[in-house]
Amino acid sequence: MNETVLVLTPRGRDAAVATDLLKRYGITASSCEDLTALSMAIERGAGAALVAEEALAGAGLLVLTDHLERQPPWSDFPFIVLANGHKGVRSARAFETLDRLRNVVLLERPLHAESMVRAVRSALNARRRQYEARDVLTRSREELEQLVAERTREREEALAQLHEAQKLETIGQLTGGVAHDFNNLLTPVLGNLDMLRRRIPADDPRSQRLIENALQATGRAATLVQRLLAFARRQDLQPRAVDVSGLLIGIEDLVTRSIGPTIAVFVDAPPDLPAARVDPSQLELAVLNLAINARDAMPGGGRLTIEVSFEEVAAPRGDRLREGHYVRISVIDTGVGMDASTLRRAIEPFFSTKGLGKGTGLGLSMVHGLAAQSGGALILSSTPGIGTRAELWLPAADEEAAANEQSQAEVIQAAYPATVLLVDDEELVRVGTAEMLIDLGYSVIQAGSGVEALGVLRGGEVQIDLLVSDHLMPGMSGADLLREAHRLRPELPALLMTGYTNLVQGPAVGLPRLAKPFRQADFAARIAELIDARRLRDNVVPIPEARRSQQRSTE
């Protein structure tokens, strides 16, 4: 603020006297010749103006008032007008002139010097407050603009995240639907291969080997489908004791293919480590997510190391690890690394350092969620230019890891004469499943829909011992069919077949179920369990073993 006081008093030496007086009191003052000069001085910058009333009759009044009209909103330039002593009586024109100056303090002459100085100081103080208000308004406007810009950026980021989430949801729905249909197709393939293997003579090793290769390939396809279902979040978490070293060695080829040839992959997985309690499918997906993140951090190639070790935590730690034993999986890359601020936000949902459309920001969030749900933690450390280390800590299991089921599982033949009502809208799946049941020694009645199956049950012409139904069918789902069947025949056992495993909510809760695709041995064991329970209740005598052997030999 320019604190100069402009003085305009046209009579004699009044201007010089007033200027000297103000200077004696430490106030900078400058005299002006007329209203035009006063207006120009105000435009250049000043703190207040001391003007004699008679000077306002000059020709420059219009120039001055026009300038005052153009002041910014925060400004109201102060005037101290030395009046001519009208004793309270002023002309209308005089009032109009003073009003046009807007901010006026009127001092009647003659006046004491101290009164004039105090009036000038008050005007300067008021002018300072105007500048302070301007500064506050300017800062507020800048802060508001920054806030608007920040909110605009956050909105754009939120819209981008929503777009990514919607895209991910769409991909998940598509993936889940394709995986379900693929499971349906794998069911008859597995069943038919099982039956063919049993029919091929043992002295034909080449045919047995071909069938076994086909079964292994089909099993790997089923595992791939489970991964797709896990990605689509249509699979329950099923934690159990898992041999982590064996799992990592099993997916080493998948990791290597996923991250490309420019990155060398090393897996250090000792075979004698304790098992970890975790869902194996979700663990595979988590390791794959960490590997893909590492790949993106090494655009020019590098080294990816996956290590597994057994660790003991003696006391609770700040990273949410409780006291206990853990299996630690470390995924280490030689990539670009992360700075401290990026590292702090790395596990936030939808946070990504990749460009728009190049990442969902859900990879580390999903890994973190799996670790937390499993009772462990995800611990990240990184150094810019050196690389990142992601540690997945999982609680060690008390029991040993279950061995993988062998393809040579025993097929349980029908112990009782029984009729199965089989319901599936997919004819290929239904026929293949019916062949498995017939091969096991059961009689089969097929239905292509829930309505058709209910018609068979209401007819009562055939004794039905077990109802087996697909879950996802048009018109009436398998769960709805089983509920209606229970109303008609409360004692009738039922089994629900499904390509999904996440039936923990809705009408399918509590129903016996078998996940597709399934082996004939698994199917036979599940059916025998349900039928045996009912037959034991009804005291039905089982088929003698000799007769069952005779049935198998005549098929």
Residues 291 and 276: their CA atoms lie apart, in Å, by 20
Residues 513 and 468: their CA atoms lie apart, in Å, by 9
E strands within 120-279? 240-242, 263-268, 276-278
Helices within 489-544 (DSSP H only): 520-538
Say whether pLDDT at 62 is over 60.
yes
- Residue 423 has what pLDDT? 94
Closest among 530, 518, 447 to 484, alpha carbons compared = 447
Closest among 350, 343, 354, 226 to 299, alpha carbons compared = 354
Q: State phi, psi for 542 to the nearest 5 degrees.
A: -75, 160
Angle at 80 between CA 75 and CA 85, to 5 degrees: 150
- pLDDT per residue over 278-295, tens digit each? 888 788 888 988 898 889
Rounded to an integer, the average pLDDT of 512-537 is 81
467: tokens are 């109802």
Closest among 360, 366, 354 to 390, alpha carbons compared = 366
- Residue 122 has what pLDDT? 95
157 in Cβ contact with 398 (< 8 Å)? no
- Fold type of domain 244-395: Heat Shock Protein 90 (3.30.565)
- Residue 50 has what pLDDT? 95
Banded pLDDT at 361 (limits 50, 70, 90): very low
84: tokens are 């001519």
Banded pLDDT at 555 (limits 50, 70, 90): very low
pTM: 0.47
129 in Cβ contact with 3 (< 8 Å)? no
Paired sense of beta strands 276-278 and 240-242, if any: antiparallel
Say whether pLDDT at 179 is over 80.
no
- Residue 553 has what pLDDT? 41
Banded pLDDT at 462 (limits 50, 70, 90): confident
Paired sense of beta strands 103-108 and 78-83, if any: parallel
Helix (H) or strand (E) holding 198: helix 113-199
Residues 438 and 424: their CA atoms lie apart, in Å, by 16
- CA 448 from chain center: how many Å? 41
- Residue 173 has what pLDDT? 66
Of 81 and 196, more confident? 81
| Same CATH fold assignment for domains 5-111 and 419-554 | yes
- pLDDT per residue over 475-506, tens digit each? 898 889 998 998 998 889 999 888 765 544 44
- pLDDT per residue over 322-354, tens digit each? 889 999 999 999 998 888 888 777 776 555 665
Residue 74 zone, left/alpha/beta (φ > 0; ψ -120 to 50; rest): alpha
Say whether pLDDT at 230 is over 60.
no
Helix (H) or strand (E) holding 224: helix 205-231
User: For the chain, what is the mean pLDDT?
Assistant: 81
- Fold type of domain 419-554: Rossmann fold (3.40.50)
Q: What is the Rg, in whole angstroms, of the alpha carbon atoms belonging to the chain?
A: 44
- Residue 446 has what pLDDT? 94
* Dihedral sign from CA coordinates of 362, 363, 364, 370: positive
Closest among 400, 412, 69 to 246, alpha carbons compared = 400
Banded pLDDT at 364 (limits 50, 70, 90): confident
Residues 357 and 370: their CA atoms lie apart, in Å, by 25
CATH number of the domain located at residue range(s) 5-111 in this protein: 3.40.50.2300
91: tokens are 């002309």
- Residue 471 has what pLDDT? 86
- Residue 554 has what pLDDT? 41
Q: Report the DSSP beta bridge partners of residue 8.
A: 51
Say whether pLDDT at 381 is over 80.
yes
Say whether pLDDT at 172 is over 50.
yes
Residues 187 and 468: their CA atoms lie apart, in Å, by 14
47 in Cβ contact with 124 (< 8 Å)? yes
Domain ranges of the chain: 5-111, 244-395, 419-554
Lowest mean pLDDT of 161-165, 364-368, 515-519, name the range.
161-165
Say whether pLDDT at 356 is over 50.
no
Say whether pLDDT at 298 is over 60.
yes
**How far are the Cα atoms of 15, 31, 122, 161, 245 from residue 118, in angstroms, in the given order?**
18, 19, 6, 63, 89
